[in-house]
């Protein structure tokens, strides 16, 4: 370990950038579906040692630490996000004739942008840096704060936050209930960067074993908490409510062609009501995001066909796009969820609030059009006004979440009374059989645990599932599978600790970690 630490600390130039990039790239293996989180006990100490050696001599003789530390953090983050988000490029192959030229911009540009947060975290941590164990707390504070910023500023994109490394498997996943993802980000850095203190501090032979010991205790505590929480979990179901989810796996060339509308609808009918398991009263049928290649409200004949198909006492909840005429006579499109009764009446609707930048709308659309990117501008959606719960005919309520709206911790519920479950419809078919749909599904399960609410998830091509408030799958489909799944609706549990306190936990964890690096100076001052 001593040789590794010295080699990293003394590295220079492109060798140092290569080490940072490689460390970040390997760190991405800690994310789903691989979940090789032990790799972080190697890569995050390397990150610490890179910051240890991050300095540059300026012509005036002053030592610059901020810039070199930022460079280390950016290259580490660039490797992490490039390997973790490579699947984003798959979306540009679906309509390759139109978007293929934009693929390199997304595949390289998005990781480069997200890496700025890690670069800033490393640079600010350097301002509180020391040669002992306290520097681990400095990095935990700044990287935890950077991950919160990444999930909230501008549009926010908390995908593959480092804290997900502590949610591998159902046991560790329970740590989201008391802590939430953003506090787990801080704890993950403390746990996995701790071995960096086993290498002697600069100019000494002293090794600090207290923090690695604490890391072992923290991991054991998280595991024990998960075991006990699951052991005492008593699964219950909402009476007389059965959920049936359809995962059609409709290819994109078919899904978006209006002349294939009847074929698409027939696929949903066939999977929804097989001869071996006919629909029964009390069943809530759930179809995925943008289920139809047509605006449903403008197709009365097909809406009537749905009414004829639905048995009495059943309800359909489906994703669909909605079109209406704006005040200036132009068409406006909304990504929506409809609740449809057995008579074909649209009883309630929700329009997606948190749209995907450059996927569903274009920030600075005027600039994009000026740059000749009209193919992006012409495909924009209009956001809905606010989050709100929808209800089924029996009064059971749910929080509608379309696509990546489910990935934002603490932001999946509106201001209404707490619903009975989360409902997430998505179309992960854009990304094929890559790691992206697995990551999306895992983040949805973590939201269910944070909120103490069951999750019903319908995806066009995986991964559809019915999940209880502990993140356990009661029924699920596989990626790339055309199937139907069914289970009784799990009952919600009391709000977990995180759901009650939310931001307080994040603030406390970051604040404590920021104070610790200053304790050495306070001790020295008191001794004088």
* Catalytic positions, written as ranges: 289, 352, 403
Residue 486 neighbours by CB under 8 Å, 6+ apart: 242, 243, 244, 245, 277, 283, 466, 475
Please list the alpha-helical segments (H only) found in 336-373. 365-370
Distance CA 381, CA 155 (A): 15
Tokens 């996000």 belong to which residue? 81
Distance CA 95, CA 499 (A): 40
CB 454 within 8 A of CB 467: yes
Nearest to 117 by CA among 92, 84, 152: 152
Tell me the CA end-to-end span of the chain in Å, nearest whole number: 36
* Chain centroid, CA 450 distance in Å: 13
Task: Please give the angle made by the CA atoms of 78, 82 and 88, to the nearest 5 degrees.
Answer: 140
Neighbours of 322 (CB within 10 A): 22
Distance CA 516, CA 528 (A): 20
* Full DSSP string of 176-241: HHHHHHHHHHHHHHHHHHGGGGGSPPTTS-----HHHHHHHHHHHHHHHHHHHHHHT----EEEEE
Please list the alpha-helical segments (H only) found in 232-284. 252-255, 261-272
Nearest to 137 by CA among 520, 515, 526, 513: 513
Identify the sign of the CA torsion 32, 34, 38, 42. negative
DSSP designation for 515 = H
Distance CA 320, CA 288 (A): 8
Query: What is the three-class DSSP state of 218?
Result: helix
Query: What is the three-class DSSP state of 110?
Result: helix
List for the chain the helix, strand, coil content (%; round to 5).
50, 15, 30
CB 468 within 8 A of CB 454: yes
Q: Which CB contacts under 8 angstroms, 24+ apart, belong to 214-221?
A: 214/190, 215/190, 215/191, 218/187, 218/190, 218/191, 219/191
Question: Which residues share a beta bridge with 400?
Answer: 423
Residue 472 neighbours by CB under 8 Å, 6+ apart: 170, 230, 235
Distance CA 190, CA 170 (A): 22
Preceding amide of 476 cis, omega within 30: no
Distance CA 247, CA 485 (A): 8
| Token duo for residue 460 | 């066009």
């Amino acid at each position: 370990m001593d040789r590794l630490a010295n080699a990293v600390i003394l590295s220079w130039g492109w060798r140092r950038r290569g080490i940072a990039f490689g460390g970040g790239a390997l760190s991405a293996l800690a994310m789903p579906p691989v979940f090789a989180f032990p790799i972080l006990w190697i890569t995050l100490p390397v990150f610490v040692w890179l910051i240890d050696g991050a300095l540059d001599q300026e012509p005036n003789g002053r030592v610059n630490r901020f810039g070199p530390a930022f460079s280390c953090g950016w290259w580490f983050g660039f490797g992490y996000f490039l390997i973790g988000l490579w699947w984003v490029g798959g979306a540009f192959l679906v309509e390759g004739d139109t978007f293929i030229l934009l693929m390199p911009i997304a595949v390289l540009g998005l990781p480069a942008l997200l890496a700025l947060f890690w670069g800033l975290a490393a640079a600010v941590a350097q301002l509180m840096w020391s040669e002992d164990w306290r520097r681990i707390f400095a990095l935990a504070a700044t990287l935890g704060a950077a991950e919160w910023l990444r999930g909230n500023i501008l549009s926010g994109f908390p995908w593959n936050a480092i804290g997900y490394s502590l949610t591998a498997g159902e046991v560790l996943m329970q740590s989201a209930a008391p802590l939430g993802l953003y506090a787990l980000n801080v704890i993950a850095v403390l746990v996995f960067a701790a071995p960096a203190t086993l290498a002697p501090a600069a100019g000494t032979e002293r090794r600090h074993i207290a923090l690695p010991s604490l890391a072992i205790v923290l991991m054991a505590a998280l595991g024990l908490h998960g075991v006990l929480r699951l052991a005492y979990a008593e699964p219950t179901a909402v009476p007389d409510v059965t959920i049936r989810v359809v995962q059609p796996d409709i290819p994109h060339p078919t899904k978006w062609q209006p002349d294939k509308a009847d074929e698409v609808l027939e696929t949903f009918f066939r999977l929804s009501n097989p001869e071996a398991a006919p629909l029964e009263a009390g069943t809530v049928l759930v179809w995925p995001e943008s289920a139809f290649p047509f605006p449903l409200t403008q197709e009365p004949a097909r809406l009537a066909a749905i009414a004829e198909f639905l048995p009495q006492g059943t309800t359909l909840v489906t994703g669909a796009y909605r079109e209406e005429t704006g005040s200036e006579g132009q068409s406006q499109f909304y990504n929506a969820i409809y609740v449809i009764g057995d008579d074909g009446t649209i009883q309630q609707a929700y329009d997606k609030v948190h749209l995907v930048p450059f996927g569903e709308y274009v920030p600075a659309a005027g600039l994009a059009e000026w740059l000749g990117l009209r193919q992006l501008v012409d495909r924009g959606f209009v956001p809905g006004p606010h989050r709100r719960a929808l209800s089924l005919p029996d009064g059971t309520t749910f929080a509608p979440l379309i696509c990546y709206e489910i990935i934002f911790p603490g932001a999946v519920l509106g201001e209404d009374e707490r619903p009975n479950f989360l409902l997430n419809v998505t179309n992960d078919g854009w990304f094929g059989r890559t790691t992206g749909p697995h990551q999306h599904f895992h983040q949805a399960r973590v939201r269910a645990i944070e909120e103490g609410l069951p999750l019903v998830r319908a995806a066009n091509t995986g991964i559809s599932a019915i999940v209880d408030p502990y993140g356990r799958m009661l029924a699920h489909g596989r990626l790339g599978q055309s199937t139907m799944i069914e289970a009784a609706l799990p009952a919600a549990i009391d709000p977990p600790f995180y759901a009650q306190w939310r931001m307080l936990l994040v603030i406390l964890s970051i604040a404590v970690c920021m104070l610790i690096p200053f304790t050495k100076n306070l001790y020295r001052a008191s001794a004088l």
